[in-house]
Structure 1
Amino acid sequence: MDKLKFYITNRFILLIISVILFVGIHYLFTGSILPDTTTKNIWFYSGLFMLFFSILFIEPYYSSPKNVITNSIPLLLVYVSVKKSFTHNGLWVTTISIIGLLLIVSIVAIAISSDNESPDSTRNKISATLKNIAVFFGRGKIIYSFVFISVLILYKAEILTEVSDTYLFTMIILWGLVLIIDSQSLHNSFRREKRQLYSNAIGEIFGVQSKKIFLAKLFEDKGKSIRKFDIVKFKYSMQDSDEYAIAGIVFDTYLLNQEKWVKVLQLGTAEKDLVNYSKNIVYKVTEKEELKSLTTELNVENFVGVVIEKSTIGTIRFEYSKKTDDIQEGDLLELKIGKRRLFYQVISGSTEYEKLESKNETGFIEGEAIQLGEWQNDLLSFQKFGWVPAINTPIFKADTSNIQVQEYTYPDFKLGTIPNTQLPSVINLHEAVSHHLALLGVTGSGKSFLAREVIKSLLTDTNVICIDFTGEYKKDLEALKPSELIKVDGLDALEENFAEKHRKALNRQPDEELKLKKQIQGKLDEYVKHFIEGENNLGLFELPALSNTSFIIEFTQFFIESVFNYAKSNEGSRICLVLEEAHTIVPETNFLGDLGDYGSTKALVNKMSQIALQGRKYGVGLMVIAQRTANVSKTVLTQCNSIVCFQAFDETSFTFLGNYIGKDLVQALPNLKRYHAIVTGKAIRSNVPMIVNLERNEE
């Protein structure tokens, strides 16, 4: 049955059957295969044949006023030429009027139509209405039936004398059967499906900028109603399949040659109501449920922009375009390369101009983000990915709520989190101490705050000695009840010993000087041993009572030497020396002598440098806290394998830190918020520098 139905509904087969029936009927009644060539018969049979041919073959493609004009003009000319054949003048006037009216309606429909306006504009609505009237009354089924009937009326008497009533009646029956055929239900391999232009059509695709960016010219009456981030969908003529429509957003709008254009970015696909979509026409999604569904599916709220040229494996550049303008330096972005979910961190942004045709320009914001990589939950870190995303790859503000961070315990310590996420930046405090840790940044940026947090955690199994000439740590660490390593009641005697040692040195009495030095060192050895072997793991080294600055420097040198000597003699010790305001303890060569005695300061720097270079062997590590890298000994600072950089402004710091965190990320230092820092180094779980929010509630 299906096969029979296929053949019955084939227009070519029906056309052949109709012609055979006509020839057969004509031969049966007249004895001739073909009609004669008299005027009346040419008109009569021409009308009938054109009716067959139009309904069965032409009509499915007959959808334009141009077709009506093509058919109407020849008929109009013919009826004018045979006016004398009409005995009834009223019939001729009626015929001419109907054909002329169809011709005028068709011409007006074409004249007022505008390709630059949407289908639901007023002029295009009027044009469509006139077009429908012209096409309906001007199609072959009606116009050639009119010819057939008018000729039958005109030549009725002559036709009836030459053929029987039965023949004429049979022809009329054949005409009626042809009229009831639904041409739209017929098929052939060239059949074009009818498309309905929706009222939410906004423009037409005119080009492709890349694999995911399409350029569309808006209809004139739709320009004011289209905004960035409107969700649209369309079927593109070059897409792989008709089973889906491309779904995306209006990425940008701009004027070009006094016309409004949009860039449409593909973010996904849609499969709803596709039958009535005309190819290359862009439709705005307005139905509430579909709009809500696509907004969620395409992640429109978190869309940030697209990758642009000059991106590299380590750093991407992107054209910024976000519905809610809430991106800041340090925010985490994500994109996909294949099935990989890659994270990037915003480090800078700048304004740019894009040159268009006819000297038009449009502005946009260009952002820059460094690659952190794929998040490895088992490692609590990011792992780099070794390739660059394609141009126009969509970028989104990262949503990490679906990442369940695994638990971790000491010596792993949470420095902070990636801004606006729950992903932690974890540091191994054992490695941080053994390979030395530097906290750098301007006053008030958060160095001392973080230092206190780290110290609290280190007290689990590490002896922490804070060397502080400012006296602030005694107050800041009061809650932890630190031990004072130097007994105040013994300072006078020690100071006298130092003074006497200096006098012996001036009088060139090396033996006496050495004896006094051993006495001082022995006393400090007792202090250090008493502290390290005691119950309290936190000690303060402060010398506010000493009057001579050079004594402070030399005293500190002897104390550091005592700590180092103890560590050498006691394997398994774990000691962290915290150098607050490190430039006062280990200044750079250019600043030696600022605290008084050049020789004493240099000796202290040399001792600290020795610990920096060799301390790991004996379990002695440094936490260096400084405002400016320029003022701190580079021998000490370069041995710090883990760096936490808070806000900074000086070029010297930028130059030095550029070797650690990269020149691109250095640019972010002046703009860092309080308690935000760039972290990197051996002890940090992630192997890439990144901006971290270190803020937390103080206990």
Structure 2
Amino acid sequence: MNDKKGRAVATILYLAILVFIQWSIIGQGFPLNEKLLWFANGVASLILGSRLLNPHFVPPADVATNSFVAGGTLIAALAANPSLPNDQLILLIAFGACAACFLLSMAVLLLKRTHGLETRPWVLSVERSVKGFGAPRTIFTLVILVLAWVFHRSSTAELYTILTLWALIVAFEPIESVLQFLGWVRDKFGKEELAVLGVVAAHQAPGLVLIRQDDDVRHKSGTLMAISDDHGPTTLGVALNYVGRDDGILLRALNLPVPPALKSHAQEAAVGSGAATLLSVGAEEAQAVRVLERIGSLCGIVDSDSDLEFIEIEVTNDDELSEGRLVDVKVRGEDVIYQVIDGLTREEAVQQKNKYGYVRAKARKIGKWDTEGKKFKPTEWLPRINAPVFMKSTDEFTHNAEAVGHFPGTDYQVSIDVSDAVTHNTAILGILGIGKSYLSIELVERMIAQGIKVICLDLTDQYATLLEDFIDQDYQNAVNQALSDSAQGRPVAQGKEEGGSLHTFNAAVIEAVSAFLAPETEQRLLVFNPAGFRVSKQTTNAYQNQAAFTDLTPCEITAMFSNAALKACQELGMVDTARACLVYEEAHSLVPEWNSVASDGDKNATAASARAILQGRKFGLGCLLITQRTANVTKTILNQCNSIFAMRTFDDTGKDFLGNYIGSEYARVLPSLKERHAVFFGKASSCDDPVLIRLNDRDKFLEAFRTENAPEGGDA
């Protein structure tokens, strides 16, 4: 029975008792004389006022009402003409007190400030005094005692009866006590016995408790419990995991405020003394607990040593956790995504000498997902310690024309700005056979679709096959023939610098590249194998019209194409967007590091290619560099690659170099990256920070991309 109903029942019972007493003892019925005053206006007003109207708090308006009724009762008593003058004086004094209380309460109502907080001491003092005197228990007690003395002192039975009833009503409240006891008995015997799980052994603030169980029953993660507290309100517990034992097994639980939908259940289940009691709720009520909704994906809690960039996660469930997976945690009420990049085992003391071993994961902040922009936005704070961390699992990724890849296990995509990828240069780094070429070919298709002209320098001849739908074979063959013709022969010159076919070949390269990059040329792609041209270079001065010759290396021929592309772009003028891209496939052979070259000529050639790339940005020229040997590629170009796709790699030089770009944490994961996975970072990425992504599958990319970007003159 709730508090209001209990007071109503008590009032009815008290009034019934008063009716019986008035009828049988005091007035032998209900005579219209002074014998009825104590009942009609005294005890009845006391009961109604203290039990129904003002059981807890008496406002000044009710004080005025109580004092007016009490004064009216005393006037009626004066009208009954008490026999003794002293009785009249007592009634007048009591009436004066009631009248003063009435007047002062009205003054408080008139003078008290209606807006803001009343601070005047004299107003507060008057208000406090009238509230004390005008309360039903006080003012009607005065009326009852005065009436009992004036009209009932001649009858000992009547006097003692009235005083006894007054004492019971005011001091002992017997009916309320009986009702409370009956309600307690009903609650205890009318429902099942509470299942006490254990007692709270320790609080791990904020938001965690350790519960010492009384038995060895193992409760699964997500089990709900009510946790009582002698020093605060009942809270909700959500089981996490077991962390060892001392005098019993220790269960760790999240400690949360009780949602309104579960408040009544939690209060009924609470047993006091810091106990944890199992809480049974329905499916609808369980939805009120956000943690419980996602308990199946709860993987841990935020651990110590987290900062603005990384969080440390104490893992409680690692069933689906893996390198590269996304997790989310609340930061200032918003879901913020992190990516797992590392893990290790830890051990710490729990209680006394009891130790607890666990796995700790490290995750890097990605940001808040912007559904409209299909990208992550930065977040500038970190979650609180012990905040629950959930595995982020979404629908299966659907390949689309914008995405270059997606986060593993989710449908969160990562896109690339192709123009920035060209003008700020891009590198694809990783060992053989993990998908570098397929990624570079995808990027080339994206460049062509945006009108960027591409010259591929490929020692593998793979591009000519995989990109044949974009190649105008007649145009390609004509250019190849012109270059091959210009490379024929070994003309001797008196000075070695003038001999050989390199000058005619270089002129042919400049002419071919300039014609290709001209705006009126419709073709978008040329593919050359620098090792396929036999271009002669005279190595000694002529003697009797004879001289020694050698063929240019692929590195030297690459430099000719690089310089020709820069010259052609310079002639077209400055531009803010990408105009042309040089693709260096097997870059460690085309633009090698100085200590990896086969001859001094290769050093000069690499320097020339690097100079072209350094100067090309303002003219819309950039490069796409692909290599499996990071250490053997010239760092002059590599350092200019603002966007990086780092795939599986093992050499320390490569990892150290990449660590400067993507951070040491991501560099450590490179040896264990799966095929078709990469750490992507740079200006061209839709994410501000390095991210580990699953790259597109070739067939699914073609299906999605070529639907909107079919090759001209070819079939998608």
TM-score (norm 2): 0.65
The match for 1:232 is 225
Q: Distance in 1 between matches of 2:186 and 2:424?
A: 74
Choose which of 578, 588, 592 in structure 1 pairs with 2:593. 588
Q: Displacement, 1:535? A: 2.3
> Can you list the C-alpha shifts for 1:150-200, whole angstroms capped at 9, x where unaligned?
xxxxxxxxxxxxxxxxxxxx9xxx9xx9xxx76743579xx9997788443
The match for 2:457 is 467
Letter in 1 for 2:523: N
> Can you list the C-alpha shifts for 1:361-395, whole angstroms capped at 9, x where unaligned?
22211010001122234554323323232210111
> Can you list the C-alpha shifts for 1:433-492, whole angstroms capped at 9, x where unaligned?
011011111112221111111111211201111101122222222233355377554565
Q: Distance in 2 between matches of 1:447 and 1:209?
A: 48
Choose which of 551, 556, 559 in structure 1 pairs with 2:561. 559
The match for 2:331 is 337
Q: Distance in 2 between matches of 1:676 and 1:207?
A: 44
Choose which of 263, 280, 284 in structure 2 pairs with 1:271. 263
Q: Distance in 1 between matches of 2:256 and 2:477?
A: 65
Letter in 1 for 2:452: T
The match for 1:522 is 507
Q: Displacement, 1:496? A: 3.7
Change (3 A) 1:253 1:472: same
Aligned: 1:317 with 2:298:
no
The match for 1:480 is 470
Summarize the alignment of residues 538-557 of structure 1 with structure 2, pairs less than 5 Å apart: 538-546=525-533, 550-557=552-559
Summarize the alignment of residues 577-616 of structure 1 with structure 2, pairs less than 5 Å apart: 577-593=582-598, 598-616=599-617
The match for 2:435 is 446
Q: Distance in 2 between matches of 1:5 and 1:397?
A: 50
Q: Distance in 2 between matches of 1:226 and 1:366?
A: 23
Letter in 1 for 2:364: I
Change (3 A) 1:184 1:609: same
Aligned: 1:685 with 2:686:
yes
Q: Displacement, 1:583? A: 0.4
Q: Displacement, 1:256? A: 2.4
Q: Distance in 2 between matches of 1:614 and 1:603?
A: 17
The match for 1:159 is none
Q: Is the CA contact (8 Å cut-off) linking 2:553 and 2:602 kept in structure 1?
A: no
The match for 1:535 is 522
Q: Distance in 1 between matches of 2:604 and 2:304?
A: 54
Please state whether the residue corresponding to 1:416 is helix, strand or coil. strand
Change (3 A) 1:208 1:586: same
Change (3 A) 1:523 1:228: same
Q: Displacement, 1:353? A: 1.6
Choose which of 170, 180, 203 in structure 2 pairs with 1:208. 203
Q: Is the CA contact (8 Å cut-off) linking 1:342 and 1:374 kept in structure 2?
A: yes
Q: Displacement, 1:275? A: 4.0
> Can you list the C-alpha shifts for 1:34-63, whole angstroms capped at 9, x where unaligned?
xxxxxxxxxxxxxxxxxxxxxxxxxxxxxx
Q: Is the CA contact (8 Å cut-off) linking 1:465 and 1:576 kept in structure 2?
A: yes
> Can you list the C-alpha shifts for 1:310-357, whole angstroms capped at 9, x where unaligned?
1111011010112x7111111111111222321111101112222244
Summarize the alignment of residues 147-296 of structure 1 with structure 2, pairs less than 5 Å apart: 184-185=177-178, 198-220=193-215, 223-239=216-232, 241=233, 246-266=235-255, 269=258, 270-276=262-268, 277-279=270-272, 280-287=274-281, 289=283, 293=287
- Give ranges in structure 1 of 5+ residues lacking alignment: 26-169
Q: Displacement, 1:688? A: 0.9
Q: Distance in 1 between matches of 2:6 and 2:219?
A: 48
Q: Distance in 1 between matches of 2:5 and 2:288?
A: 44
Q: Is the CA contact (8 Å cut-off) linking 1:202 and 1:282 kept in structure 2?
A: yes
Q: Displacement, 1:421? A: 2.0
> Can you list the C-alpha shifts for 1:181-235, whole angstroms capped at 9, x where unaligned?
76743579xx999778844321122321112101111123xx2242344333334
Q: Distance in 1 between matches of 2:291 and 2:301?
A: 18
Q: Displacement, 1:8? A: 9.9
Change (3 A) 1:228 1:652: same
Q: Is the CA contact (8 Å cut-off) linking 1:347 and 1:668 kept in structure 2?
A: yes
Q: Displacement, 1:525? A: 2.2
Please state whether the residue corresponding to 1:224 is helix, strand or coil. coil
The match for 1:31 is none
Q: Distance in 1 between matches of 2:288 and 2:373?
A: 35
Q: Is the CA contact (8 Å cut-off) linking 1:485 and 1:539 kept in structure 2?
A: no
In percent, how many aligned pairs have the same letter? 27
The match for 2:543 is none
The match for 2:544 is none
The match for 2:661 is 660
Letter in 1 for 2:425: H
Letter in 2 for 1:494: S
Letter in 1 for 2:666: L
Aligned: 1:306 with 2:295:
no
Q: Distance in 1 between matches of 2:4 and 2:322?
A: 66
Change (3 A) 1:665 1:495: same
Summarize the alignment of residues 373-388 of structure 1 with structure 2, pairs less than 5 Å apart: 373-388=367-382
- Higher mean Cα deviation, 639-648 or 528-537? 528-537
Q: Distance in 1 between matches of 2:670 and 2:644?
A: 13
Letter in 2 for 1:473: Y
Change (3 A) 1:186 1:576: same
Q: Distance in 2 between matches of 1:636 and 1:426?
A: 24
Q: Displacement, 1:268? A: 5.6
Change (3 A) 1:229 1:378: closer
The match for 2:625 is 624
Change (3 A) 1:248 1:443: farther
Q: Distance in 2 between matches of 1:564 and 1:4?
A: 91
The match for 1:57 is none
Please state whether the residue corresponding to 1:648 is helix, strand or coil. coil
Letter in 2 for 1:641: N
Letter in 2 for 1:365: V
Q: Is the CA contact (8 Å cut-off) linking 2:237 and 2:255 kept in structure 1?
A: yes
Letter in 1 for 2:528: F
Please state whether the residue corresponding to 1:688 is helix, strand or coil. coil
Letter in 1 for 2:209: F
Q: Displacement, 1:587? A: 0.6
Q: Distance in 1 between matches of 2:445 and 2:8?
A: 89
Q: Displacement, 1:606? A: 1.2
- Give ranges in structure 2 of 5+ residues lacking alignment: 27-160, 169-173, 535-549, 703-716
Choose which of 353, 362, 368 in structure 2 pairs with 1:368. 362
